[in-house]
Amino acid sequence: MVYVKDGAPIIGVNALHHPNRQRFTIAHELGHYMLHRELLSSEVHVDKQFKILMRDTNSSTGTDAIEIEANKFAAELLLPSFLIDDLLANSTFDIDDPEPLEKLAKKFRVSKQMLEYKMRG
């Protein structure tokens, strides 16, 4: 969750979650703070469960659009495109081979799903 109190942003994470999940949560909430600050002055934004919302679909609601933006922000923060582009340009990385994908996800401390999402662009 994230909220703003007396002008100061406060982000809360569940300490029982996997560290990668906590990193993603913090990045996601930072996204809300950077992109949707006006919403946070009047309410506490609580994210209970992250849906895999990265791409806009026809069925996306207004709330979904905000979550998609925060997810994109988090993905870019944790896995900057310039690093991914570099990696793909300078190696024979096979995105369909699960082993190097897993290694790389560990290195970046993100989920395999997120790495795959970023790599497939």
Q: Is the CB of residue 74 less than 8 Å from the CB of residue 29?
A: no
Nearest residue to Zn ion by CB is 47
- Which of 10-18, 47-55, 78-86, 110-118 is the region at the interface with Zn ion (rule: CB under 5 A)? 47-55
Biggest CA pair distance of the chain: 50
Closest CA to 63 of 41, 80, 78, 46: 46
Q: Where are the alpha helices (DSSP H) in the chain?
A: 19-35, 37-40, 62-78, 81-89, 98-108, 112-120
Told to check if 64 binds Zn ion by CB under 5 A, we report: no
Question: How many residues touch Zn ion (CB under 5 A)?
Answer: 3
- Which of 41-49, 81-89, 90-98, 105-113 is the region at the interface with Zn ion (rule: CB under 5 A)? 41-49
Question: Binding residue for Zn ion (CB under 5 A) from 47, 64, 76, 116?
Answer: 47
Residue closer to Zn ion, measured from CB, 25 or 104:
25
Residue closer to Zn ion, measured from CB, 53 or 105:
53
Query: Whole-angstrom Cα distance, residue 103 to residue 90?
Result: 17
Told to check if 70 binds Zn ion by CB under 5 A, we report: yes
Contacts to Zn ion by CB under 5 A: 47, 67, 70
